[in-house]
Amino acid sequence: MCGIIGYLGEDQAVPVLTDGLERLEYRGYDSAGIAVFESGGINTIKSNGRLSALREKIREQGTPQGTLGIGHTRWATHGKPSDYNAHPHSGQNGKITLVHNGIIENYLELKAQLKAEGVEFKSDTDTEVVAQLAEKNYNGDLIETVVKTVSQLNGSFALGILCEDYPDTLVGVRKSSPLLAAVCDKGCLIASDITALLPYSEEIYRMEDGEICMFTKSGAAFYDFDGKPIEKSAETVGLNAKSADKNGYEYFMMKEIYEQPETLRATINQYLTSEGRVDLGEASKGFGELKDINRIFIVGCGSAYHAGVVGKYVIEELVRIPVEADIASEFRYRHPILDNHTLVIIISQSGETADTLAALRLAKESGARVMSIVNVEGSTIATESDCVLFTRAGIEIAVATTKAYSAQLATLYVTAVYMAQELKTVDDNEIRNLEHYLAVLPDAVEKALGTKEQAKELASKYYEKDHAYYVGRNIDYAGAMESSLKLKEISYVHSEAYAAGELKHGTISLIEDGTLVIALCCCERLLAKTQSNIEEVRARGAKIICVSTEDNVKALKYDDLLLVPATHPLFVGSLEVVPLQLFAYYAAKFRKCDIDKPRCLAKSVTVE
């Protein structure tokens, strides 16, 4: 969840490191630091707070001069945000300095051993244990030292390492935490995310679990955790630095909201033939025999889980196989009943989400088939799945996901239509109808973006509310969960989502005069039921915002309205979230929140 960057080259390291940290700050925000090899030693500068505080400290102390360095932006796991807990960390003699993303699970045991041997610690972090341990293990050979050190560590870690005796060497290590490497005209880099590499190279090395990279001015070398050399090839990524720019938008989140139509076109069209028929191509082989599947689990975290709830409703309706949507951190510990007749659908934007990856491995160990929906080719989840359907969302910088969530929904629709077609649970006329609505879904989302000014006006009206309640039934309920999350994570308004039929079972006691209730009313067959629930909260003084399709609005009573285009009833989840993404954005803006970087949140959750 932290951001790591390392650089070795011809240029001064500090500008490369700080620019990279700025591109990685959505991964960590509470402290930052750099270490640069300068005049025969390693100069470390670190600061509590955002990257701006580190930049100021560098100006005050003087910019280190050197062409080799590492940097880190932190999301605290061990120890409060502070200068002394910020990375990089060094051994007590300053021989080894490193940055770390992940969690060392046996750090207390290692720390006790090192303390007993006289090692003095300066921080509360698990990371300093790695630096102290590496320094204790150091025998003059840096690769041997790294190999011995990682063999003693339990947990997940990506490391960037400098050694005082190696003034032209940068080492990277990966185990269960993302790390990429790149070589460019003027040097080489490592980073925890591709955004930091794109300004320098579109050719990257994807580090796999259990790999070490060593960069020197003479080239790159790769090793496994036994210290044996391995061969790796660089690959070209279809992205560039502009992909991670705001392109004139004030915040990345608004840019990404507006990128949703194009994201959907790219995602859906790869699974439609020129005749508009659903075709998964090679990916379909990973499903195995669909007729043998008698149960489906959809597993994800956060918004990916919410997409899975939509997928549950859509797949059950079309395919008539029981589906459970599960939060990954619960699924992996509840001893789910899995066998070779089970299909597990794993959803992760990054393809590295820690709990989701653990759920995948549990499913594989139990004999289940695993299909993943991810946005990153070559990611761990993609690599370990039986088949993969890639979303084409590109880079998403804002912590609150929008376009990646929309792409996940679309991929679940494609999956459901494919399965229904193959199992013949829906006649071909309806399959053709579904394929038509899939093809035009990006256009419908584009129309839904026309609610921007209405959403802004409603946000200006309601942003001072301390509480908001989102309600809906069926797919509307899933949309309520995702929309509520958007509001709470970027505006810090207390917001909850409820199945509308549950209001009478306790929640209605929270409704009082002026309470904001946002009712999602796009599920036509349950509209009358939802309207009854709306009347119940209206009778108790609630202010109602309804989100509805043009076909349904006449049956509703409300204080304010957000209209979205009509679509197939199973695809309304893609439309109803759009005005509520905009509503959340403007509510956060009126409340003067940092929209792209909400407090306590990081973009990629790579630890439990």
List, by residue number, the catalytic residues: 2, 603
The H or E element that residue 498 is part of is strand 494-499
Element (H, E) at 496: strand 494-499
C-alpha dihedral (162, 164, 169, 170), degrees to nearest 10: 0
Kindly report the backbone phi and psi dihedral angles of residue 200, in degrees, each rounded to the nearest multiple of 5, phi listed first: -115, -30
Going 502 to 508 to 510 to 516, the CA torsion angle's sign is: positive
Encode burial over 305-334: b for 16+ CB neighbours within 10 A, e otherwise.
Answer: bbbbbbbbbbbebbbebebebbbbbebbee
CA atoms within 13 Å, Cβ hemisphere of 191: 26
- Only one residue has tokens 């909850």, namely 496
Q: Which pair of structure tokens corresponds to residue 586?
A: 């403007």
Helices 142-150 and 127-137: crossing angle in degrees, nearest 10, is: 130
Dihedral pair phi/psi, residue 65, rounded to 5°:
-105, 115
Query: Residues 520-557, buried b or exposed e (16+ Cβ, 10 A)?
Result: bbbbeebbeebbebbebbbeeebbbbbbbbeebeeebe
- Which stretch of DSSP H or E encloses residue 24? helix 13-24
The rounded distance, in Å, linking the Cα atoms of 481 and 442 is 22
- Beta carbons of 569 and 525 less than 8 angstroms apart: yes
**Looking at 227-288, which runs of residues are DSSP E strands?**
229-230, 235-236
* β-strands 543-549, 180-184 pairing: unpaired
Provide φ and ψ at 51, rounded to 5°: -60, -30
> What's the full length of the chain, in residues?
608
Phi-psi region of 242 (alpha: psi -120 to 50; beta: other; left: phi over 0): alpha
Q: Is 559 in contact with 578 (CB distance < 8 Å)? A: no
Whether residue 178 is preceded by a cis peptide bond, meaning omega within 30 degrees of 0, is no
Run of H or E including 181: strand 180-184
Residue 489: what residue type?
Answer: E
Count CB-CB contacts under 10 A for residue 103.
Answer: 21
Concatenating the DSSP letter of every residue in 411-441 gives HHHHHHHHHHHHHT-S-HHHHHHHHHHHHHH
Query: For strand 96-104 and strand 89-90, is the pairing parallel, antiparallel, or unpaired?
Result: antiparallel
HSE-CB of 262 using CA atoms within 13 angstroms:
7
